[in-house]
C-alpha cells in the first residue's frame, strides 16, 4: 500500500470513528435516561407507568452498549468517554431497579464487520454492563498499558460501586480456553496484568491480614501474584520472630507455604518458630503438625526425613512441657521423689512392683506409695527408719525451667504427634513404638531420673490418686502409656498365636512387672 492509499484509509477510519462518537452522543442518551428515571420514580404515576419507564431505561441502555463497545473496545478510541457513559448506565439502571426488577432478555453485540462478539439469550442488563466494562479495561491495558493510571482509576470506580468482583469474574471466565475470537493478541497477553488490577484492593487487604483462603482466591484470580504474596508472608514470618504479637498466625503461614509448595520456606519457618513458652500453644502446635504432615507425603526422601525430625521434636517438647506442668501441680514433688528414691536405695521398697509379689510386699509398697502421695500434696506423714515422721519433708520444691509457662491441651498435643509418628511411612509399628518410648524417656529425664518408676503402674496410680486436676491426671496416664509402648496402634505384622482347632485357647492371668495384668495363652 502506497502512502496516498494509507492516507485515504486513515481519513476514512477517522470519519468512521467520528460517526461512532456521534452515535454514542453522551448528552442525548443521558437526558433521555434521566427523563425515564424521573417518570419511573414519580409516586403520583401509576405502577404500570412507572414499571414501563424502568423497563424503557433497561432497553435504552441495551441499545447504547453496542455503540460503546465498538468505539471503546474495537476501535480503542475515546475510552474515558465510554467509561463515563458506562458509569451513567450503571447509575440509571441501579436506581430504576428500586422500581422494578430488570427482565432477562436476549442481548447481542456485533462488531463493525457484523461478527457476533456477545450473545446471551437470557441476559440481565447488569451482566451486559459488566461484560462491556471488563472488555474496556482489558482493551485499554492492552493498547496503552497504564502509564497514566487511567486503568487503575476505572477499576477504582468499579470498586466504589462494588462491582469489581463481578467484572473480574466475567474476565476470568472469558479468559478460559478457548479465548474469545475477537480478542487481539495484545488483549490476550494483557489478561493477567488486567486481572491483577482488580486484585489490587484484595492485595492490600492481604498485606494487612494474610489468610490461606485469600491467598487461594488471589492466585486463582491472578496466578502471577503468587511470588508477591509469598514474599509478603515471608516478611511477616520474619516479623513474628521479633515481635511479641504475631503479625500472621503461624498456622496461616504454614498453610500458604504448603499451598505454594514452598518447602524451603516451611523448613525455615519451623526453625524460627518459638519453642520455649509457646510450644504447646494451639497456633504453633497446629503449624508444626501441618508442616510435618505435608512433608510426610513428600516423595523426596530428605524432606520426608525432615518431617519425621519435626514430628519427633514436637513430641519431645510436648512431653517436656507437659511434665513440667505435672511437677508444678504437686507442692511436694521434689521432696516426695527424694524420699521414695531413698526408700528404694535402702531396699525398703522395690523400684517396680515385683512380678510375683507376696501380700506382705504388696502391703508395704502400698503403704510407702500412700506416704509418697501424701508428700506430693505437701503434707507430712512420711516415716524415717526410726518410725518418726520426717518434718523436713513438708512440700519444698526446687525451681525448674519452664515452671511459669501456661500450657493447655498437653494430652491432645502428645496424642497428635504420637499418631503422626506411629503411621510414618518409613517406620513399621514396632519401630515407631520404640522410638516414641525413647523420645518420652529422654524428655522426662530432663526433670526426673526415675523413668522406670514412672513407667510402673502402681506409681502412676499413686500420682493420679494424689492429683486434683483431670488434665494433670490425663498427662500422667499418657506418659505412662507411652513409656510402656501403649500407643493405641495395632501391630498388623504380628504373627497370630497358635490356636487349637478343636479346643478353645486357654488363658491365665500373669502379673506383668511394671505394667497392667495381661492374659497369656497356655
Q: How many CB atoms lie within 10 A of CB 521?
A: 10
Grid coordinates representing 318?
510436648
Residue boundaries of the structural domains of the chain: 3-198, 206-304, 333-483
The pLDDT, as a whole number, for residue 407 is 43
Question: Using CA atoms, how far apart are residues 476 and 368, in angstroms rounded to an integer?
Answer: 19
SS (HEC) of 236-294:
HHHHHHHCCCCCCCHHHHHHHHHHCCCHHHHHHHHHHCCCCCCCCCHHHHHHHHHHHHH
Spatial separation of the C-alpha atoms in residues 82 and 274, rounded to whole Å: 56
Q: Is 156:170 a contact under the CB 8 Å cutoff? A: no
pLDDT at 279: 46
Distance CA 21, CA 18 (A): 5
Q: Which residues pair with 119 in a beta bridge?
A: 108
| Residue pair 275/287 in contact by the 8 Å Cβ criterion | no
CA distance 55 to 50: 9
The grid coordinates listed for 312 are: 519427633
Q: Where are the beta strands (DSSP E) in 67-176?
A: 105-110, 116-123
Residue tagged 503461624 (cell numbers)? 250
pLDDT value of residue 508? 44
The span from the CA of 316 to the CA of 328, in Å, is 19
The two beta strands, 116-123 and 518-521, are unpaired
Q: How far is residue 300's CA from residue 292's CA, in Å, rounded to a whole number?
A: 13
CA 158 – CA 180 distance, rounded (Å): 23
In terms of phi and psi (left: phi > 0; alpha: psi -120 to 50; beta: otherwise), the region of 330 is beta
174, 178, 206: which is closest to 191 by C-alpha? 174
Helix (H) or strand (E) holding 508: strand 507-510
**What are the phi and psi torsion angles at 350 (to 5°)?**
-70, 145
Q: Buried b / exposed e across 54-69, counting CB within 10 Å, b at 16+? A: bbbbbebbbebbbbbb
Residues with Cβ within 8 Å of residue 159, at least 6 apart in sequence: 201
8 Å CB contact between 143 and 196: no
Tell me how far apart the terminal alpha carbons of the chain are, to the nearest angstrom. Answer: 106
Question: How distant is the alpha carbon of residue 219 from its chain centre?
Answer: 15
Which of these, 128, 120, 8, 10, lies nearest to 67 by C-alpha position? Answer: 128
Tens of pLDDT along the chain (522 residues)?
A: 577 776 667 777 788 888 899 999 999 999 999 999 999 999 889 999 999 999 999 999 999 999 999 999 999 999 999 999 999 999 999 998 888 777 888 999 999 999 999 999 989 999 999 999 999 999 999 988 877 789 989 999 998 888 888 888 888 887 776 789 999 999 999 988 888 888 887 788 899 899 999 999 888 878 888 999 999 999 999 988 877 778 899 999 999 999 999 999 999 999 988 664 444 478 888 999 999 999 999 889 999 999 999 999 999 988 988 888 888 888 888 888 888 888 888 888 777 777 677 787 778 888 888 888 888 887 654 454 444 444 444 444 444 444 444 444 678 889 999 999 999 998 888 899 999 999 998 888 754 556 778 888 888 888 888 888 888 888 889 988 898 888 765 544 334 444 343 344 344 444 443 444 444 444
Cβ-contact 254, 287 below 8 angstroms? yes
Amino acid at each position: 500500500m502506497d502512502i496516498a492509499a494509507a492516507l485515504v484509509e486513515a481519513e476514512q477510519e477517522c470519519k468512521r470513528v467520528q460517526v461512532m462518537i456521534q452515535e454514542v452522543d453522551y448528552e442525548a442518551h443521558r437526558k433521555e435516561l434521566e427523563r425515564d428515571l424521573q417518570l419511573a420514580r414519580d409516586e403520583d404515576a401509576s405502577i404500570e407507568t412507572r414499571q414501563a419507564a424502568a423497563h424503557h431505561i433497561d432497553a435504552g441502555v441495551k441499545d447504547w452498549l453496542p455503540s460503546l463497545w465498538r468505539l471503546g473496545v474495537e476501535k480503542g478510541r475515546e475510552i474515558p468517554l465510554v467509561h463515563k457513559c458506562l458509569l451513567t448506565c450503571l447509575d440509571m439502571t441501579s436506581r430504576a431497579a428500586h422500581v422494578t426488577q430488570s427482565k432477562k432478555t436476549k442481548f447481542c453485540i456485533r462488531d463493525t464487520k457484523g461478527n457476533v462478539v456477545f450473545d446471551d439469550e437470557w441476559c440481565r442488563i447488569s451482566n451486559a454492563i459488566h461484560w462491556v466494562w471488563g472488555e474496556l479495561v482489558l482493551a485499554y491495558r492492552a493498547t496503552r498499558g497504564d502509564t497514566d493510571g487511567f486503568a487503575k482509576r476505572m477499576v477504582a470506580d468499579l470498586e466504589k460501586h462494588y462491582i469489581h468482583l463481578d467484572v473480574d469474574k466475567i474476565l476470568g471466565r472469558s479468559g478460559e480456553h478457548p479465548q474469545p475470537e475477537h480478542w487481539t493478541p495484545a488483549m490476550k497477553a494483557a489478561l493477567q496484568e488486567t486481572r491483577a488490577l482488580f486484585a489490587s484492593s484484595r492485595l492490600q487487604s492481604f498485606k494487612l491480614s494474610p489468610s490461606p483462603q485469600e491467598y487461594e482466591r488471589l492466585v486463582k484470580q491472578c496466578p502471577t501474584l503468587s511470588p508477591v504474596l509469598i514474599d509478603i508472608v515471608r516478611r511477616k514470618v520474619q516479623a513474628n520472630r521479633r515481635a511479641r504479637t504475631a503479625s500472621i498466625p503461624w498456622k496461616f503461614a504454614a498453610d500458604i507455604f504448603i499451598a505454594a509448595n514452598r518447602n524451603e520456606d516451611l523448613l525455615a519457618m519451623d526453625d524460627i518458630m518459638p519453642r520455649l513458652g509457646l510450644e504447646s500453644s494451639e497456633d504453633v502446635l497446629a503449624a508444626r503438625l501441618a508442616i510435618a504432615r505435608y512433608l510426610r507425603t513428600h516423595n523426596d526422601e530428605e524432606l520426608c526425613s525432615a518431617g519425621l525430625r519435626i514430628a519427633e521434636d514436637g513430641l519431645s517438647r510436648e512431653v517436656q512441657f507437659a511434665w513440667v506442668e505435672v511437677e508444678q501441680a504437686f507442692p511436694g514433688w521434689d521432696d516426695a521423689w527424694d524420699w521414695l528414691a531413698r526408700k528404694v536405695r535402702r531396699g525398703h521398697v522395690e523400684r517396680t512392683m515385683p512380678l510375683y509379689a507376696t501380700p506382705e510386699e504388696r502391703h508395704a509398697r502400698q503403704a510407702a506409695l500412700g506416704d509418697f502421695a501424701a508428700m506430693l500434696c505437701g503434707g507430712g506423714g512420711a516415716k524415717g527408719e526410726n518410725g518418726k515422721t520426717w518434718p523436713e519433708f513438708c512440700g519444698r520444691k526446687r525451681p525448674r525451667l519452664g515452671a511459669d509457662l501456661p500450657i493447655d491441651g498437653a494430652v491432645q498435643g502428645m496424642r497428635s504427634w504420637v499418631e503422626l509418628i506411629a503411621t510414618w511411612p518409613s517406620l513399621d509399628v514396632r519401630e515407631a513404638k520404640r522410638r516414641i518410648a525413647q523420645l518420652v524417656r529422654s524428655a522426662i529425664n530432663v526433670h526426673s531420673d526415675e523413668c522406670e518408676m514412672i513407667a510402673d503402674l502402681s506409681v502412676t496410680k499413686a500420682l493420679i490418686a494424689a492429683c486434683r486436676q483431670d488434665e494433670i491426671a490425663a498427662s500422667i496416664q499418657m506418659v505412662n502409656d507411652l513409656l510402656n509402648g501403649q500407643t493405641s496402634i495395632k501391630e498388623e505384622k504380628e504373627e497370630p498365636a497358635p490356636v487349637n482347632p478343636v479346643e478353645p485357647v486357654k488363658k491365665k492371668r500373669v502379673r506383668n512387672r511394671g505394667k497392667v495384668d495381661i492374659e497369656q495363652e497356655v
